[in-house]
A = this chain, B = another copy of it.
Amino acid sequence: MRVGVLTGGGDCPGLNAVIRAVVRRGVKEFGFEFIGFRDGWKGPLEGVTTELGIAQVRGILPRGGTILGSSRTNPFKVEGGVEQIKANLAEAGVDALVAIGGEDTLGVATKLAELGVDVVGVPKTIDNDLSATDFTFGFDTAVNIAMEAIDRLHTTAESHHRVLVVEVMGRHAGWIALHAGMAGGANVVLIPEQPFDIGRVCDFVEERFKSQYAPIIVVSEGAVPVEGGDMTLVSGEQDAFGHVRLGGIGDRIAGEIEQRTGKESRAVVLGHVQRGGTPTAFDRWLATRFGLHAIAAVADGDFGTMMALRGADIVRVPLKEGTGELKLVSPEEYAEAAVFFG
């Protein structure tokens, strides 16, 4: 049997661990051959492959990124894309695919499976916002990096009269902010699921200063003010990419706090630092087990499935189910943590 492997979407620590586990078990236990497709779905679409075997996966376990490259190419947006993929798979003699990626990459996998391509999925999202699995790999690494930054900021919070705003990843879901804030002992956590009232944030800031400690505020990049919440000072302009470059939400909140409370405020923007570099033990373990089980699903002919963590076990769920729904922070979970926030 000849198995193709690809990785799609954004960087996520653990991708290489999945690839390594798929190949090691595939070769040693099932006697499979492997071929790598470059840059996500672009690889099978354009027929760009790379050698993949025991030698290629040696030493990659602790490394960030993906040896197969990645992209956001969607073959369903390319005319005749699906046929091209089928033709390229046939030409390369590929019997089955292991696709590692997030909502978009697995969404493509789901549709291809329905169209008869033998594919098994491994979920990947650093934001941990996939309802099918308890946790996704990459998330634990991101949370630890953010937590270590918050740990260091406590020194300043204790000694100085500065408000510190830490902006972390999370466009739609506040998991990184919630976990890092909880683990780091932050005083306020603002997440996309719960629009914030800047006035109440500022009230808290002033309250906090009475206790001699300056507040540390953790904010998801996707957090938004409540409707009508005035964030007028720091509007910024759109740049060439449509970014409001001079005003990530962290920076905007810091500016607003200064303006309203007169307390000096600084933003820390960790950005891509959270998604690069070596994975934590948890992420390496989870990614490795996802890989081991994905190739077993291939061996079983159990296509159209993806791997999921349930408790300490890896289970197979239908691909469709896995990509259907975002897992958001519930009001209860947010409230539970709020005993520390303020």
Please list the residues of chain A having a beta carbon within 8 angstroms of any beta carbon in chain B.
11, 13, 21, 24-25, 28-29, 59, 61-66, 69-70, 134-135, 140, 143-145, 147-149, 151-156, 158-160, 162, 164, 179-180, 182-185, 233-234, 236, 239-241, 243, 245-247, 251-252, 254-255, 258-259, 262, 264, 266-273, 275-278, 280-282, 284-285, 288-289, 292, 310-312, 336, 339-340
B312 touches A144 (CB 8 A): no
Q: Closest CB-CB distance, A70 to chain B, in whole Å?
A: 6
Q: Are B339 and A281 in contact (CB under 8 A)?
A: no
Given contacts A246-B246, A259-B240, A272-B268, contact A65 B155 (CB under 8 A): yes
Find out whether the CB atom of B292 lies under 8 angstroms from the CB atom of A159: no
Give the CA-CA distance A328 to B61 in the complex, in Å: 26
User: Nearest Cβ distance between residue A267 and chain B, in whole angstroms?
Assistant: 7
Q: With A134-B311, A280-B280 given, is the CB distance from A288 to B156 under 8 Å?
A: no
**Do residues B258 and A135 form an inter-chain contact, with CB atoms below 8 A?**
no
5 extra A-B contacts, CB within 8 A, seeds A63-B155, A311-B311: A155-B275, A182-B285, A183-B288, A240-B258, A245-B258
